[in-house]
Amino acid sequence: MTQHLTDIASLPEGAAEALIRRAIELADGASPRRLRGEVAHLFWEPSTRTRVSFELAALRLGLGSVQVDPSRSSSTKGETLEDTVRTLAAMAPAALVVRHADAGAPDRIVEWTAGTGVVVVNAGDGARAHPTQALLDAATLAHEGIDWPSARIVLLGDLRHSRVARSAFALYRRLGVVDLRMAGPRALMPESDDAAFDGVRRYDDLDAALADASVVGCLRIQRERIRELALPDDATYHAAWGLTAARAERLPADARVLHPGPINRGIEIDPAVADGPRSRVLRQVAMGVHLRTAVFEWLLGAETDTRSA
């Protein structure tokens, strides 16, 4: 059976911990393995850090790498997603890295490519899952020695449309975090029956949620996934729901601020906080390459490792 990475639930027991450990080793200077084969990156949604970090990870492992630009592919000529994917799989890359606006697209791609041996890695599907973002966030925190059972983790902003939040909470639960919180305007909070948020405490009062937090993750409003939404103007939103400089000042001295990017400065986070001492934003970006390197080693390493003893 080919192992894929479509969401946190697709990780076998112990795999998340092993990937995080390996990403940290790489961050601390370990050499990536040498692998053979090629990775095709298919991003149907815009991306800077995720797309480039997957590509750099492939290159650091000695893998070939090809970007498939959907706006220049045959999907613009009426080809279905299934045909595009089957066509690419027929060229036998080692892996397809996929980002798509439809929740569940990576699982359908796994079905369409069954039996080809092509590995599917989800780089974000709709509002459903973004497993490598969750893993790189956790690796960033683990690198600094966070203690999971005693961590108090708050995600704030647009929880409702966030694949980052869904995967993050799934992973934090697995790692043994007990105190999980979310805060945001009612219109951006998930439905109460959304199982992705089971065990996460909802706060109507952002300052109550932030009190004694050890990690604060800020989330952008996912406007591309919202058709109609009555939200206040940016300044009013920032004052009510943003991580303002004043709120950041009141956080415990060792609290860390995360943001998956892209940042909308002055809306969900104050620019001074994004660039300030608590911010781990660029460490997350750096860890993204290491974590994705670890993911390729794990998924592609068994057959293609060519290290000499």
> Would you say 164 or 183 has its CB closer to ligand NCD?
164
Residue 135 interacts with ligand NCD (CB under 6 A): yes or no: no
Residue 196's alpha-carbon distances to 7, 149, 163, in angstroms, are: 12, 20, 10
Q: Give the CA radius of gyration of the chain.
A: 19
Taking the complex as a whole, the smallest distance from the CB of residue 1 to ligand NCD amounts, in Å, to: 28
Closer to ligand NCD by CB, 46 or 252: give it: 46
φ/ψ of 92, rounded to 5, equals 60, 50
- Secondary structure (3-state) at 9: helix
Q: What does the per-residue mask of binding to ligand NCD show for 4-43, with x meaning CB under 6 A?
A: ----------------------------------------
Q: How far is CA 26 from the centre of its chain?
A: 19
Task: State yes or no: residue 124 binds ligand NCD (CB under 6 A).
Answer: yes
Q: Please pick, from the candidates 22, 163, 174, 292, the single residue that binds ligand NCD as defined by CB under 6 A.
A: 163
* 292 touches ligand NCD (CB under 6 A): no
Minimum CB distance to ligand NCD smaller for 4 or for 220? 220
Q: Cis peptide leading into 277, omega within 30 of 0?
A: no
Give the nearest distance from C-beta 220 to ligand NCD in angstroms: 4
Q: Which is nearer to ligand NCD, 89 or 120 (CB)?
A: 120
Q: Which of 130, 256, 283, 292 binds ligand NCD (CB under 6 A)?
A: 130
Given candidates 50, 140, 214, 244, which one binds ligand NCD under the rule CB under 6 A?
A: 50
User: Using CB atoms within 10 A of its CB, is residue 304 exposed (0-12), middle (13-18) or buried (19+)?
Assistant: middle
Task: State yes or no: residue 260 binds ligand NCD (CB under 6 A).
Answer: yes
Interface with ligand NCD, residue 217, by CB under 6 A: no
Q: Is 261 in the site for ligand NCD (CB under 6 A)?
A: yes
Q: Minimum CB separation from ligand NCD for residue 153, in Å? A: 17
Tokens at residue 155, please? 């995600």
Contact between 164 and ligand NCD (CB under 6 A)? yes
Which positions from 224 through 253 interact with ligand NCD, judged by CB under 6 A? Answer: none
Q: Nearest CA to 41 among 7, 68, 18, 23? A: 68
- CB count within 10 Å of CB 108 equals 17
Residues 6+ apart with CB under 8 A from 128: 7, 103, 104, 163, 166
- The position carrying tokens 């095709």 is 40
Would you count residue 220 as binding ligand NCD (CB under 6 A)?
A: yes
Spatial separation of the C-alpha atoms in residues 241 and 222, rounded to whole Å = 15
- Give yes or no for residue 185 binding ligand NCD (CB under 6 A): no
Q: Minimum distance from CB of 127 to ligand NCD (Å)?
A: 9
State how far the Cα of 66 lies from the Cα of 139, in Å rounded to an integer. Answer: 27
Beta pairing class for 215-219 and 256-258: parallel
Residue 114 contacts by C-beta under 8 Å, 6 or more apart in sequence?
A: none
* Residues within the interface to ligand NCD (CB under 6 A): 49-50, 124, 130, 133, 163-164, 220, 222, 260-261
